[in-house]
């Protein structure tokens, strides 16, 4: 994860910062605003915002989704009730999340998010796209995200993406996920 953070994520940060400095259209916007506007930007800005801006936002979110094993209390009563209402059980939510993560062809992300009507949804995005980007995935506010690019797991898990995904549940920062729900 050190290489992942200091090399991959840092490259996204550097590239989006250069793009913001070079394009007046992008200046003064938060990373969330940039991601939300990605599909409406001129082509010369849209690609760098989707790739580097999305990469920066996704990774910043991802780091917060993890904590030391056993250091958080699990889903709050409110989150558990929403998971049960949307998926039937926590185990079924995990199964659907795992399937979205494992089924992502190539590089991308799996997401647990909340839709406007309050229901929860699981979706997956390619590359550095995310649910903040219009027309990319099921519209939702991300609550939990998992990086399924090979660089996220290859040094430890090689080509065993399902094992990486299964072990992710041991480090989920439920306190962060619970906070995102609020």
- Any known ligand binding at 4? yes
Residues 6+ apart with CB under 8 A from 70: none
Q: Which residues contact 93 (CB under 8 A, 6 or more apart)?
A: 83, 86, 87, 112, 120, 122
HSE-CB of 41 using CA atoms within 13 angstroms: 25
User: Cα–Cα distance between 100 and 18 in angstroms, integer?
Assistant: 33
Is 147 annotated to bind a ligand? Reply is: yes
Distance CA 167, CA 135 (A): 30
- Do the annotations mark residue 151 as ligand-binding? yes
Q: Mark the binding-site residues, compressed into ranges.
A: 4, 59, 147, 151
Q: Mark the binding-site residues for Mn(2+), compressed into ranges.
A: 4, 59, 147, 151
């Amino acid at each position: 994860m050190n290489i992942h953070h200091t090399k991959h994520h840092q490259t996204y940060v550097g590239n989006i910062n250069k793009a913001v400095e070079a394009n007046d259209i992008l200046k003064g916007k938060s990373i969330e605003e940039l991601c939300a506007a990605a599909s409406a930007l001129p082509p010369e800005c849209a690609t760098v915002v989707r790739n580097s801006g999305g990469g920066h936002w996704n990774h910043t979110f991802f780091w917060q989704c993890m904590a030391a094993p056993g250091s958080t209390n699990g889903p709050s009563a409110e989150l558990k009730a929403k998971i049960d209402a949307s998926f039937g059980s926590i185990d079924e939510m995990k199964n659907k999340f795992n399937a979205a993560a494992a089924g992502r062809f190539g590089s991308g992300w799996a997401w647990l998010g909340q839709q406007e009507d309050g229901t929860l949804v699981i979706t997956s995005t390619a590359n550095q796209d995310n649910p903040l980007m219009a027309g990319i995935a099921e519209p939702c506010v991300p609550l939990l995200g998992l990086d399924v690019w090979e660089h996220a797991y290859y040094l430890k898990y090689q080509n065993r993406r399902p094992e990486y995904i299964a072990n992710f549940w041991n480090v989920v920062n439920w306190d962060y996920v619970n906070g995102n729900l609020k």
